[in-house]
Amino acid sequence: MNLIILKPNKENLQTYLVLGIVFLSIGFIDIISNSFLNFNITGFLPSIISYLSPLILGILGLHFIRIEYSGNKTLDQINKNLNSSNINAILSLIVIFILIKYVPSLLNWAFFDANFLGNTKEDCTGNGACWVFVKVWFNRFMYGMYPDAEQWRINTSFLVLFGSIVSIFVLPNKFKKYIILFLLFIFPIIALNLISGGIFGLKWIETGAWGGLSLTFIVSAFALIFCFPIGVFLALGRRSDLPAIKYSSIGFIELWRGVPLITVLFMSAVMFPMFLPDGTYMDKLMRVIIAITLFEAAYMAEVVRGGLQALPRGQYDAAKSLGMGYWRMHFLIIMPQALKLVIPGIANTFLALVKDTPLIFVVGLLELAGMIGLAKTNPEWLGMATEGYVFAAFVFWIICFSMSRYSQNLEKKLSTER
């Protein structure tokens, strides 16, 4: 037999394979018994070797099965993707060991040992997560202090918003314009009046009671609707050849982009009231939406400017040669093309906006993260911070991940269309 330990070859494929699998399985048995049975089968060795033994055994095992063009498809796949060199073998083993060590305990905490039944903290008896907390507070997490009986108003507003966005994609182009106009100008007024009430016999609900995830959506939807036109005008201003307009736009954009949102919110809370005439009062939520709108408008302006810059000069020249003026050229020729280019950028800005909304806690508005902060300090539910924040993180992750995937797909689609 021509067995060379250092250089596994194809002639003795079977032997090497058996040898490698034996080493690998001893390594895996070692780490599994270590993690779950609290028993160290290599305990007789010096501590550092015993600690590293699964890794050493694994590397040896993987070394033996690293045979190029063995003819065995599975083996070739494994070698190509996980085991192409000693360094890759070590990395693969480390990743696998981390997964073996932490994933089961994570699953146990979140699902198998978790408590789903019951209505009080005392019902949580296992070692796992206490999802009862989330279940009991779910309504508050979604709607804040908004009265239960009136929650249909928030739901209706969001259904209308969702419905009109879907209809933009479904209905023929003829109606698109009207739906967008409706969304930009009429819907905000209807939704605001429906949610706050005070007219048509609807009960008045002050903005202090608004909260939870719905507030996240209210703030980000309104800020998006308002920041879009401002951003478009700022982008045009920044590219203008009139110096006064150009430099005031640059100044405005760079001012907002240079400061953190939290200081802008502070400004809206403590400094802005000083600038209003004595005796006038502006609602806290309104001030926050204005602040976030101005802040995001600066970012939106940069996104739109990117689209404007990407358009070839010929488009401007062609429009001018048709005798179009500045506004007709921009709104009939340039903007429709530029905005189409930057749809992914707009989606990304909206994504950033949604991720920024939890910051409104600094002025005392409680959206999802803020409501969890409130719930975890409730004397009956102390020690539930982990469950609460994991739940909020999960909710935000679903929203943001799907949005980022959507914008990535759009980007791909648009880049191939051109």
Partner 1 sequence: MNLKTFSLDLKNKKRLIPQVLTLLFIVLLISYFTFNAQVNMDNRGIAFGFGFLTQEASFDIGFSLIDYDGSRSYARAFLVGLLNTLLVSVIGIIIATLIGVTVGIGRLSSNYLVAKFAEVYVEIFRNIPLLLQLFFWYFAALRALPLPEQAMNFNDISYLTVKGWYVPKFIWTNFSIFIYSVIAAFIAIIFVSKHAKKQREEFGKHIPSFYIGITLLFALPFLSFLIGGVELEFEIPVLKQMSATIFNFRGGVSIIPELMALAMALSMYTATFIAENVRAGILGVGKGQKEAAASIGLTKAQILKLVVLPQALRIIIPPTTNQYLNLTKNSSLAAAIAYPDIVLVFAGTALMQTGRAIEIVSITMGTYLLLSLSISSFMNWYNQSVAIKEK
Binding region for partner 1 (CB under 8 A): 80-82, 84, 88, 91-92, 95-96, 242-245, 248, 254-255, 257-264, 266-267, 270-271, 273-278, 354-359, 361-362, 369, 372-373, 376, 385-386, 389-390, 392-393, 396-397, 400-401, 404
Give the Å distances, CA to CA, from 194 to 180, 199, 283, 382.
Answer: 20, 8, 17, 36
Cα–Cα dist 414/345, whole Å: 12
Q: What minimum distance in Å lies between the beta carbon of 245 and partner 1? A: 5
Determine how many CB atoms are found less than 10 A away from the CB of residue 1: 5
User: Minimum distance from CB of 4 to partner 1 (Å)?
Assistant: 26
Minimum CB distance to partner 1, residue 129 (Å):
11
Shortest Cβ 197–partner 1 spacing (Å)? 30
By the 10 Å C-beta count (0-12 exposed, 13-18 middle, 19+ buried), 216 is classed as buried
- The length of the chain, given as a count of residues: 418
Q: Which is nearer to partner 1, 179 or 399 (CB)?
A: 399
Query: Does residue 381 contact residue 133 with C-beta atoms inside 8 Å?
Result: yes
Which residues does 26 contact at the CB level (< 8 Å), separation at least 6?
57
d(CA 4, CA 185): 79
Cα–Cα distance measured from residue 86 to residue 58, given in angstroms and rounded to the nearest whole number = 11
Quote the least distance from Cβ 388 to partner 1, whole Å: 9
Q: At its nearest, how many Å lie between partner 1 and the CB of residue 125?
A: 19
Instruction: State the nearest-atom distance from the C-beta of 32 to partner 1, in Å.
Output: 18
Task: Give 178 or 397: the residue with its C-beta nearer to partner 1.
Answer: 397
- The rounded distance, in Å, linking the Cα atoms of 222 and 191 is 10
DSSP 207: G
* Pick 189 or 242: Cβ nearer partner 1: 242
Minimum distance from residue 382 beta carbon to partner 1 (Å): 11
Minimal distance in Å, beta carbon 396 to partner 1?
5
Task: Note whether 115 and 133 are within 8 A (CB).
Answer: no
Distance CA 337, CA 311 (A): 8
Contacts of 371 (CB under 8 A, 6+ apart): 137, 140, 141, 144, 211, 212
Nearest residue (CB) to partner 1, 30 versus 367: 367
C-beta of 167 vs 386, nearer to partner 1: 386
Alpha carbon distance 387, 376 (integer Å): 9
Q: Which is nearer to partner 1, 68 or 206 (CB)?
A: 68
Find the shortest distance in angstroms from Cβ 417 to partner 1: 21
Q: For residues 110 and 245, which CB has a smaller minimum distance to partner 1 in the complex?
A: 245
Minimum CB distance to partner 1 smaller for 194 or for 390:
390
CA distances from 79 to 92, 135, 209 (A): 11, 47, 60
CB burial string 78-117: b at 16+ within 10 A, e below? bbeeebeeeeebeebbeebbeebeeeeeeeebeeeebbee
Distance CA 210, CA 89 (A): 54
Compare residues 208 and 373 and give the one whose CB is closer to partner 1.
373
Residue nearer to partner 1 on the CB measure, 32 or 245: 245
DSSP 347-394: HHHHHHHHHHGGGGGGGT--BHHHHHHHHHTSGGGTT-HHHHHHHHHH
Q: 130 forms bridges with which residues in the sheet?
A: 115
CB 207 to partner 1: min, Å:
21
Q: Which is nearer to partner 1, 261 or 308 (CB)?
A: 261
